[in-house]
Structure 1
C-alpha cells in the first residue's frame, strides 16, 4: 500500500456560507440529518432520501424536496451520503438506480460514512468511470458536534472533486484536513482515530473501576487526570460518560464500533501490522453485544470494566434511556461508599496520611 501524502494544515471554517448549489443528502440518521439541516440553513436547496419514509417526513420544511427514489437526486450538483457500513453504501451507490447511474457528469458524491478503504476505492473508480467526482469525508465527532458544526472532517479525493466539495465541507465542521487524492486514505485515518478512541475508553474504564473499588470517588480521578496529563477531548468527553454511567442515547452504538475495529484490523492484517490491543478491545465490544448492550454508547466499555470488577451498576443498563429522559443521572440506589481523607488519596511528598477524624477535606465515592 502506498503511503498517503501528508495532510494539509487544518483549516478553520469560514464565517460566510459557500456558493449556493442543489445538494442531495442520502441517509437521514442523526448525523445525516444534522448535515441536511446545516446545509439548508446555509441557503442550499436540498433533496433528501432515506430508506425509511419516517426519516424523510421528519425533514419536511420549506426548501427541502422529499425524494421518493434515488433518481430524484439526478439534478443535484453534490450528493452527501451518511450511511452505516459498506453494504449500505454499495446498495445506494451501485444498486439498481443508484447514485453512480443517476448522477450527472461533473456532479460529486461526498461520502461522510465510516467505511473500509477498499470500498472507498471502489466508489472512486465507479464514479470516475461515469465522469462523476468522489470525495471521502468521514468525520471525527458525534451528532451533537455535527449539529454545532464543530466536527473534524477528514477529506481525500481528486483535486477537481475536492475543489467542488471544499466550500461545503468547510461549513460543516470546525476544521478540515485534506489528506490527498486517494479517497481511501481518509477512511483509513478515520478508522485509526476510532481505534485510538476505543483504546482510550477501555483504559479509562479500567482505571476508574480501580479507583471506585478502592473507595475513591472516580470523579476525583477524572478531575485529576483531565486537568493534568490526560486533558484530551476524548478523555474528557467519554471519561465523563463513564463516571456518570451516561451511556444513552448513544453517540456511537456498540455494533458500529465493532464494525469499525473489524475494518481497522482487516487493514492491519493486509499490511502485516500487529494490533494486539485493538484485537482485545474489539473482543470487549463483542462482549457488550453478548450482554445485550447493543443500543448503548461504546463508552459503556466502562460499564463492562465495572462489572468485571464486581462493582454494582449505578444505573441499570436497561434503564439508561429512561434515566436520561429525566435530564439527570442521580443514583438514588447508590450504596454509601467508604470515605477517604484527601491526604490518603494523594499525600504530599514526605508527609504522613492524616489520622481518621482529622480536619482534612474528604472525598466521598
Structure 2
C-alpha cells in the first residue's frame, strides 16, 4: 500500500489569514536551487503571497536569483536582522556547523530585541548537514525568544535531483511546525518527507547515516574503477554495467563522473563538504561504538584527493577550482600506483601478462 509523500494532514487556514512571509538564508549549490524552486512554487500557489526574502553572505547570488525570477518572487534582504524581523518561516542551508551557528547567534540577538512576534509563531527550518548535537545549541538560541520554534530538515539528492524538485526531505522537531512547513516543501522542492519524531537530533543523525551510504557507494565505485583500470577493462564498459545493474540517478551520475574524470564541483558536491561529512560520520560512529571501516577508507581517499588537487593548483596544472567528492577515486588510484588523472586514457596489459 502506497504511503503519502507528506505524513501530515494539511493545516487548516483561518478565514482572514495573513500571507506568510518566507525567508531563505544560504544560496549555495543546494540552497540556491531549493530557494529558486520554493520561491517559484510559493508565488503561484499561495494566495497573495509576498516575494520570498533571501540572504547570502555574498550578495551576488541573491542579486542573480532576483534577476532570474523577478521582483514578484524574490526580494534580497539587506541583513540577517531583516530576515529574522520580517519573516514567519525561515529556511537555512549553509556550508558547515560554524556557519550555521554564527547565523543562528545573529538570529538570537535580533530576536532578543524583538522580544515577541505579533503574528504568531516564527519557525526556523535548519536544512544544513551538521553534527546532531548542534541542533540542541540552536534550539537554546532560538527558544530564548517567545513564540519561536526550530525544526531540523536536511535533504537528500544530487544537484540535478534538486533541480527537478525530487529531493527526499527528513524532518524532526515540533509536530505542529513540521505540519505547517511540509506543504511548502512537497512538491516545491521534494517528492517525499520522512518524519523522524520530535527529537531535533534525529534528522541530522539520519542525514549522516544516509550520507554514509552515498559515501560508501562512492568508495566502492572508486575501488572498482581502479581495479578495472589495472586489469585492462575500459572505464566506459564499467559505466555501461553500472547503468544496467544499478539504475539509480545518483549512482549513475557519480559513475559517469569517475569514468570521465569529471570532478568540477560547480555542478556537484565539493570535496571539502565531503570531508566535513565523512568527519561527522566518523565522529558519530565513535560516539555510538559502531565502526564503519568503509567510511574511514573513503575519508583517507578524500584527503588524498584534496592534497593532489591542491598540489596541481599550486603548480598551475589544474583548471578546476574546487573538486567534487567523486574525485576520491584519485586517492584510490594513487594507492594503486596509477596516474590519478589518466584513467580513461590508459590501457594496461591483460591480466595474464602480470604472470
1:76 aligns with 2:76: no
2:64 maps to which of 38, 58, 69: 58
CA distance in 1, matches of 2:216, 2:193: 24
Q: 1:30 to 1:216 in 2, by over 3 A?
A: same
| Of 278, 284, 304, the match for 1:261 | 278
Residue 179 of structure 1 contacts residue 185 of structure 1 at CA under 8 Å; is this kept in 2? yes
Equivalent residue for 1:310, pick from 292, 317, 337: 337
Structure with a larger share of its residues in helix: 2
Aligned to 1:58, the other structure's residue is in SS state helix
**1:197 maps to 2:208:** no
Say which is worse superposed, 132-141 or 37-46, in terms of deviation: 37-46
Equivalence for 1:91: 102
Q: CA deviation at 1:262?
A: 1.2
Alignment match, 2:313: none
Matches of 1:58 and 1:210, distance apart in 2: 44
Task: Give the distance between the partners of 2:305 and 2:129, measured in 1 at CA.
Answer: 21
Quick one: distance in 2 between partners of 1:129 and 1:72?
Answer: 19
Structure 1 residue 97 displacement after superposition: 6.3
> Which residue number in structure 2 is paired with residue 3 of structure 1?
none
Cα deviations by residue, 1:177-225 (Å, 9 ceiling, x for unpaired): 1111112111011111111111111111111111122121122233234
Matches within 5 A, 1:117-266: 117-130=132-145, 131-170=147-186, 171-228=188-245, 230-250=246-266, 251-266=268-283
Instruction: Give 5+ residue unaligned stretches, structure 1.
Output: 1-7, 317-330, 345-365
Partner residue of 1:110?
125
State the SS of the aligned residue for 2:262: coil
User: Which residue in 2 is equivalent to 1:25?
Assistant: 24
Question: Once the 2 structures are TM-superposed, how far is the Cα of residue 142 of structure 1 from its aligned partner?
Answer: 2.5
Q: Provide the rounded CA distance (Å) in 1 between the counterparts of 2:195 and 2:110.
A: 24
Evaluate the alpha carbon distance shift between residue 179 and residue 10 of structure 1 in structure 2; reply closer, same or farther with a 3 A threshold: farther
Task: Report the 3-state secondary structure (helix = DSSP H, G, I; strand = E; otherwise coil) of the residue aligned with 2:192.
Answer: strand
Do the aligned residues in 1 keep the contact of 2:25 with 2:93 (CA within 8 Å)? yes
Q: SS at the partner of 1:227?
A: helix
Change (3 A) 1:155 1:216: same
Whole-angstrom CA distance in 1 between matches of 2:294 and 2:349: 33
Scaled by the length of structure 1, the TM-score of the pair is 0.77
Rounded to whole Å, the distance in 1 between the matches of 2:31 and 2:172 is: 19
Larger displacement relative to structure 2 (91-100 or 23-32) = 91-100
Write the distance in 2 (CA, Å) between the matches of 1:313 and 1:288: 9
Q: Is the 8 A contact 1:108 1:134 kept in 2?
A: yes
Q: SS of 2:71's equivalent?
A: coil
Ranges in structure 2 where 5+ consecutive residues have no aligned partner = 14-18, 44-48, 311-320
Deviation (angstroms), 1:310: 3.3
Question: Relative to structure 1, is the Cα distance of residues 263 and 10 closer, same or farther in structure 2, using a 3 angstrom cutoff?
Answer: farther
Q: Please say which structure displays the higher CA radius of gyration.
A: 1
The 1-side partners of 2:305 and 2:96 are apart by 20
Distance in 1, Cα, partners of 2:160 & 2:28: 12
Equivalent of residue 53 in structure 2, options 25, 47, 70: 47
3-state DSSP of counterpart to 1:300: helix
Distance across 2 between alignment mates of 1:338 and 1:145: 39
**Would the aligned equivalents of 2:38 and 2:185 in 1 still touch at CA under 8 Å?**
no
The equivalent residue for 1:288 is 305
1:301 match? 328
Give the TM-score of the pair, scaled to structure 2. 0.79
Tell me the SS of whatever aligns to 1:292: helix
Q: Partners of 1:124 and 1:235 in 2: how far apart?
A: 35
Change (3 A) 1:99 1:123: farther
- Kept in 2, the 8 Å contact 1:242–1:303? The answer is no
